[in-house]
Amino acid sequence: MRYYILNIFFIIAGVAELVDARDSKSRGGDTLSVRVRLPVPKNNNKGSIMETADCIFCKIIAKKLPVEIVAENDEVVVIKDIAPKAPVHYLIIPKKHIADVSSVEQADIPIVGEMLLMAKKLAKGLSGSQAFRLIANNGPDAGQSVFHLHFHFLSGKKMLDF
C-alpha cells in the first residue's frame, strides 16, 4: 500500500504516467500492483535545459547545485570558475547541453552567438581594462574536463603569453 501511495503521489505530481494498475483482491489476494512510466527528456533544440544525468554544468543550470550566478539569459548562464586562473575567471555556459565545440551544429549557432554577446556584456562590466581572453578547450588532450560546452572568460591581468 505504501508503494501504491508513493506511485500515486508521483502521478499527481506529473512526474510519472500511470501505465497499469492491478488489484489482486478480485483474485483472492491482497496486493495492488501499479506500473508507471517515467518521462524521457526531450531535446527541442531551442536551447532549453536538457540535463544529462552526470553533467555538473547541467546540474548547476537546473539550480540543483548551489552556485553564484554572475549573469543569465534565456540561452546562457555565467558562473565564476571554482579554480580561477585569473583575477576574473568566468565560465560562459549554454543552457542547452552541447558536449564541446566539435558537437556544435548549424542550429546551435544562435546559442554560440549568445555566448559571444555575453562575453561582450561581461567585458563592459569589468573595472579597469576591458581586455579579456576567451578559451574553449575541446577534448581531453586540449584540457577539457567538463564535457558541456563553455567559454572561459579570463581578465584582470595581462595575458601576453600566448
Kind and range of the H or E run holding 10 = helix 2-12
Q: List, in sequence order, the alpha helices (H) in 46-150.
A: 56-61, 109-124
Give the three-state DSSP class for 31.
Answer: coil
- Residues with a catalytic annotation lie at 150
Interaction between residue 79 and ligand 5GP (CB under 6 A)? yes
Scanning residues 39 to 78, which ones bind Zn ion (CB under 5 A)? 55, 57-58
Residue 58 contact partner, candidates ligand 5GP, Zn ion, none, CB within 5 to 8 A by sort of partner = Zn ion
Longest dimension (CA), the chain: 81
Binding mask 114-143 for ligand 5GP (x = CB under 6 A): -----------------------x-----x
Q: How far apart are CA 27 and CA 23, in angstroms?
A: 8
Q: Mask: binding to ligand 5GP, 20-59, rule CB under 6 A, as x and -?
A: ------------------------------------x---
Give, as ranges, the residues between 123 and 142 that touch Zn ion (CB under 5 A). Answer: none
- Indicate the SS3 state at residue 43: coil
- 143's contact among Zn ion, ligand 5GP, none, with CB below 5 to 8 A by partner kind, is ligand 5GP
| Nearest to ligand 5GP of 58, 91 (CB atom) | 91
Residue environment code for 21-43, b if the CB has 16+ CB neighbours within 10 A, otherwise e: eeeeeeeeeeeeebebeeeeeee
State the residues that interact with ligand 5GP by CB under 6 A: 56, 67, 79-83, 91, 137, 143-146
